[in-house]
Amino acid sequence: MRILLIEDDREAARYVAKGLGESGFVIDHAEDGPQGLMMATSEPYDVLVVDRMLPGVDGLSVIEALRKNGTDTPILILSAMGSVEDRVHGLRAGGDDYLVKPFAFSELLARIEALTRRARTDGVQETSLRVADLEMNLLSRAVHRGGQPVDLKPREFRILEFLMRHAGQVVTRTMLLESVWDYHFDPQTNVVDVHISRLRQKVDVGFGRPLLHTVRGAGYRLAENETP
């Protein structure tokens, strides 16, 4: 997996590159907009991580130029500007995800993994999802584990769907809040944890091997094995 990081802050770039490198990614680093634009158009990358504030050409312009150019590589925007309006601007310019600085590295990693997965499954219209013996029918909205029906509330269904679409990957609380509830802020109470434990009650309890794992300090992972 190759990632291009376009970031002018060297300290931040070092932090991101080191972490991603340790997680098995190959990182290229561009220090400004024009250089990033050139590298992104001349080399194949799996994900682009673009800082919004760049000297020369700003991040959003780089993204717009790439999209006009026909580049459809998934793009994650990093920005210190975190209001909903800023986020909307970023996504409208052609970004696929938006992460506000400062962020936890686990959050960045989870989002990059989600983006690589999205690239692979894009365009495929799925009618059912499957993780080990857990099945979800997206049309009838029925869920079965080991052949037995699992009765879920609508919101639980959406949480499970999101987890199954990102099976094997870490899903953070923030990602769940954003995609399931459209909340772009963290409530103080650990509301997500409680929802997950409810879901776990229904999906895992009584079925021998658990599928819904908690990843300490990061989030959750739905997978057959506890460690990838």
Partner 1 sequence: MRRRSLIFRYTLLHGTLFVLVLSGALAFLYSSTLSAHETEMDEQIEHEAEDLHERLTEVHSVTEMAAIVSRTTTERPGRTTVYMLATKTRQYVAGNLRQWPAGIEQRGDLLEFPLEGKATEEARARGRTYRLPTGEQLLVARNLTERVRFRELIREAFAGALLLTVLLGVTGAYLLSRRVSHHLDEINQNSEAILQGNLDLRMPETGRGDEFDELSHNLNRMLDRIGTLMSAMREVTDDIAHDMRSPISRLRSRIELALLGKSDPDAYRAALEGTIEDADAILAMFNSLLTIAHAESGEPRKSFEPVDLRDLVANAVEIYEPAAEDAGLSIVLEESAPVRLSGNPSLLGQAITNLLDNAMKYVPAGGSIRCRVVVGDDRARIIIADDGPGVPDAFFDKAFDRFSRLEASRTSPGSGLGLSLVRAIAHLHEGEVVLSSGDPGLIVTLDLPVHREA
The residue range among 55-63, 80-88, 129-137, 202-210 that interacts with partner 1, by the rule CB under 8 A, is 80-88
The residue range among 1-9, 138-146, 163-171, 182-190 that interacts with partner 1, by the rule CB under 8 A, is 182-190
The residue range among 2-10, 84-92, 142-150, 218-226 that interacts with partner 1, by the rule CB under 8 A, is 84-92
| Contacts with 174 (C-beta within 8 Å, 6 or more apart), sequence order | 107, 186
The one-letter amino acid at 89: H
Q: Select from 52, 145, 195, 213 the one that contacts partner 1 (CB under 8 A).
A: 195
Q: Select from 121, 128, 148, 190 the one that contacts partner 1 (CB under 8 A).
A: 190
Q: Select from 126, 155, 225, 226 the one that contacts partner 1 (CB under 8 A).
A: 155
Q: Select from 57, 191, 215, 218 the one that contacts partner 1 (CB under 8 A).
A: 191
Residue 26 sits in the site that holds partner 1 (CB under 8 A) = no
Q: Select from 24, 123, 208, 217 the one that contacts partner 1 (CB under 8 A).
A: 217
Q: From CA 77, how far away is CA 89, in angstroms rounded?
A: 11
Size, binding site for partner 1 by CB under 8 A: 24
Residue ranges of the alpha helices (H) in the chain? Answer: 10-22, 33-42, 59-68, 84-93, 105-121, 154-165, 173-176, 191-203
Q: Using a CB cutoff of 8 Å and minimum separation of 24, what contacts does 11-17 make?
A: 12/51, 12/101, 15/105, 16/49, 16/105, 16/108
| Contacts with 115 (C-beta within 8 Å, 6 or more apart), sequence order | 47, 74, 76, 96, 97
Residue 48 CA to its chain's centroid (Å): 13
CB of 191 to partner 1, least distance (A): 5
Return residues touching partner 1 (CB under 8 A).
Answer: 82-85, 88, 102, 104, 155, 181-191, 194-195, 197-198, 217
